[in-house]
Structures are given as C-alpha cells and as structure tokens.
Amino acid sequence: MRRMTSIYERTSQSREDNQKRRHRLAAENMSSNWAGLALGPWIFVCEFGVCPNRLTFIYHAQDQFLRNINHPLRLARVLKMDKSIGTAYTHLVDNQSYEIIPSFELECGRVLRDVPVAYKTFGKLNPEGDNVMIICHAFTGSADVEDWWAFDPHRFFIFCGNVLGSPYGSASPLTIDPETGEPYGPEFPITTIRDDVRIHKLVLDKLGVRSVAVVVGGSMGGMAVLEWPLCTPPGFVRNIIPIATSARHSAWCISWGEAQRQSIYSDPLYADGYYAERGQKPTNGLAAARMAALLTYRSRDSFEGRFGRRPQLSRAKDGAIDRNLTPPRTPADEALAYHNDGNRSASRIKARSTESVLNAVGDSLAASQPTKIFTAQSYLRYQGDKFNNRFDANCYIHITRKLDTHDVGRDRGKDDESDNAALINALSQLPRGALVIGIESDGLFMPSEQREIATHIPEARLVLIPSIDGHDGFLLEFEVINKYIVEFLEEKLPNIYEGEVTSSAEGVGEFGVKKTSTFGEAEADVDVTRW
C-alpha cells in the first residue's frame, strides 16, 4: 500500500480544503481495507513513515473532521475511538450531526480533548443569523427535537444539542478518552448545566448564529433555558420559555436523585462503574432507578385513575393467557415465588425453573387469593426493562449529579450577599417578559418554584396548566402548552411571523409532536394491557 503524508492544521480554509482532497484520495487506498471494521463511513489516513496498520487521522466521508490523534495508535484502538462517536445508543437518534471541540475546560477545572457534541438542526438560518430557536432536552432525552413540541421550522432555524454525559452522542462516560484509548466510564469528570450551555454556544458559533430568538425547554431543559442568557453575551438570547423547572435544584429533587443512584450502586454488577470491563451491565439497579424516577414524574391521582387496583394477568408472548404453565409444586414453592415476584436477582427461584411457576401463581392469585400482582407493578417493571434498552447506568448517575449542581445564583453573588439574594439578582438579569409555564399537580418542580422564577424575571408572565399528570404534564399537555408558546412567539417575534415562510426548510421531514417517543418521559397512548 502506498504511504502518504497528511498533516492537519486548522490555519486557513484553502489549506483545509487541500487536506480534505488528500484525505479523499487516501480513502481510495484505505477505506476498502478498514472502513468496514468501524461505524462509518470513515476515511483513514496514514502518516508518512508509520506502519500502514497505524493511523493518525480519521475523516468522515461527509467531510466532517473527527480526530487528530496525537500519536500513532494501533488500529483496534483507533476503531474504538471511532465508536465513541457512535455509542451503543446513538443509533436511536436519526441524522445527528457532530461537532468536535478540540479543547474544552469544564467548570470543575478539567480539560476535555476532542470533545464530541451531538446536535440536530431543522429549518434554515436566515442571512441575519437571528431566527434561531434553541430547544433544551430533558434528563433522558436526546437531540431528537421532534420528541417534544411542534414548532415551525419554516420560520425558525431550530437547534437542539445533546448534553454532556448523555449516551446519545455528546461526550459522556461512554466516550473514549483520547489520552488513554479507553472509555471514561466512572472517571468522566462532573459537568454542569452551564458547561452544556457554553459548549453548545461554541457549536452555534460554528453554524454562524449571531443571535437567538428564543430558548425553550422543560425540566432539566428548563434549567438550561435559565442559564443560556447568563452564560452568553448580553442580548445574545432575546426570549426564554422555561417549563416545569426550577431556579435551583431543591432538597426534595436532590434526595430523589440520591435514592436513584443508590439503586444503581446496590446492583452487584455495578462494580464501581467499571461494569463495561466485565461485559455485564447493572440492569437491575438502573431499572429500579427508573421506576423510582417515574413515580416522581406522575401524581397519585394519575396512577389511581390509570391503574387503580386492577390485577395483571399472566400472558404468553402472543398476549393470550397461557393455561399450560407449570403449577407450583408445593405451597412453599408458591409462597417463595410470590414473595420474590419481581426480584430479578433471585437465584433459588431460577434454580427451581419457576418462571412458569411465577406465571401460574399470578393466574391463581388473580383468580382466588386476596393478594395479587397489580397492573401498576407491571407498568413499572415494563418501563424499567424498556429503559435498560436505551440508557446507560454511568450516564444516568452523571446526569443526576449534573442536576444537583443547578443553582442560577451559584457563584454569581457578592461576597456579602446571601444565596437567596444572589438567585434573585440572577433571575432579574434574564430577558424581560419571559413566559414561565408550570403544571399544577407537579410534585417534583412545584408550582411555587415556577412562581419564584416568574416573580423575579422582569415582566414575566406565569401560566399554570391544569393537569392531574404531575411533572409529566409538561409532555402530555402538549396541545395546551403549544397554544401558549405560539401566542407568545407571535407577540414577541412579529418580524419572524409576519415575514414570508421559507418554502423548503432543511431537515424537516414530518416534523411534529409524537405522542409516543423514544426519549419522552411520557407515553400518552400506551395501552396498559399490551406490555
């Protein structure tokens, strides 16, 4: 194979274009040998004088630079680095873009190198670079903006960046550390909401954005909404819409996050976060954490109305009750099986091959016993199992700790100023006339917290949505929330709404609300009988 010389230096557009051409030429010789081994398509480039099976440059076939490796690495390690862009979960997000930030200093002081930031855009940036809508996703969300509210990409250039620590593409515990060639795992440094805003701002700069018309987001996304005007130059963000969020993470929310982390820590497979090395994931712990979180997202009344005390009948794979299940051999077997129903780690029950016993017990108990397996229990287990297919335990822990850092007044007050005074002062600096939306039954981010935000942002207006669905109401009541948001935008941004509609918006497709989505916390149209 012919050896080539290629040195990547970001000095001028012409030099960059010349190097891209050389990279394309390299593809003819090298992609046929190696591209099929990695998530691609990639272009691999050798440095002169280095063995052909060692690489120093990786280039995406769509002209996006990915890695400038500091020293030659073995092919296997380089391929691992490629996969840090495409983790086990990024396939769930269609048509993402990536920006690689060469160096980024976190609030904690750590410096990350070659930092991938995943994002999606919809619509077209106008010549002024100011028709920008930023949507900030929630805790377990992604850059898939279609999962939330229906906005108009024919008028706005819509941007959603994936947060640091998420498994969906941005740097996280799943990402390969370029210094070691191995995943960060539990050693990934702590990141904050402010870090997310600052690194997403770098992406907007590269996209040519000069000003942001509005920032919208709920829950954790609402925290980012509050930070955007405070972490960017004055006037860069013109309007904000925080939804079902808080100005600082409460003791109540911090405690729920701790309970969820402890659920993961208690799983023997967690291994202090180094479970990837053992090839086994702490699925039981992560499922339990998800179950606890779901209870905070809903309300008591919503669970009563949806489930009540309805029993869950055992079902075969086709949904029909299986009458050929093995019955319990003894009363002791029956008691043991029922006692451990839902225990994913029960070794004795597995040894007795009593999965069928459990199902049979469920049928018999539902028919004649005072104790039952309830649909509410089945729902939580179903959601826990489903969550394991789309999220990572270390990422979950990381983001809960990110939430704990949230306080818009943190380190922004004077030396002699109280924490509360610093918070009030920070809120007073946000864009005037914000739209603050809350859910009346939200037990996680209380209506009182929405009032606090609205009280201290100059001329802000507060809307509390009637709903029995608790915190998830900010996702389930999308039609009502859309109405308030659109009215607000038409009032605040007449130049965007009165102008001509872009005939073809880039990356739009079938853009709109999805009642059931991969990343939304809520599923509005799930049939509880079809788990």
Q: Enumerate the active-site residues.
A: 219, 442, 471
- 151 within 8 A of 66, measured Cβ to Cβ: no
Under DSSP, is residue 98 helix (H, G, I), strand (E, B) or coil?
strand
Q: Residue 68: beta bridge partners?
A: 57
What are the E-state strand segments in 87-200? Answer: 97-105, 111-122, 132-136, 157-161, 176-177, 182-183
Q: Which two tokens stand for residue 244?
A: 């079902």
- 117 within 8 A of 499, measured Cβ to Cβ: no
What are the E-state strand segments in 219-292? Answer: 240-243
What are the E-state strand segments in 379-473? Answer: 435-439, 461-465
- 163 within 8 A of 187, measured Cβ to Cβ: no
Under DSSP, is residue 24 helix (H, G, I), strand (E, B) or coil?
helix
Q: Is the dihedral of CA 258, 263, 266, 267 positive or negative?
A: negative
The one-character DSSP state at 172 is S
Residue 345 is which amino acid?
A: S
The full length of the chain comes to 531
Residue 216 is which amino acid?
A: V
Residue whose entry in the numeric block shows the structure tokens 């990024």: 90
The rounded distance, in Å, linking the Cα atoms of 184 and 192 is 17
- 468 within 8 A of 305, measured Cβ to Cβ: yes
Q: Residue 42: beta bridge partners?
A: 60
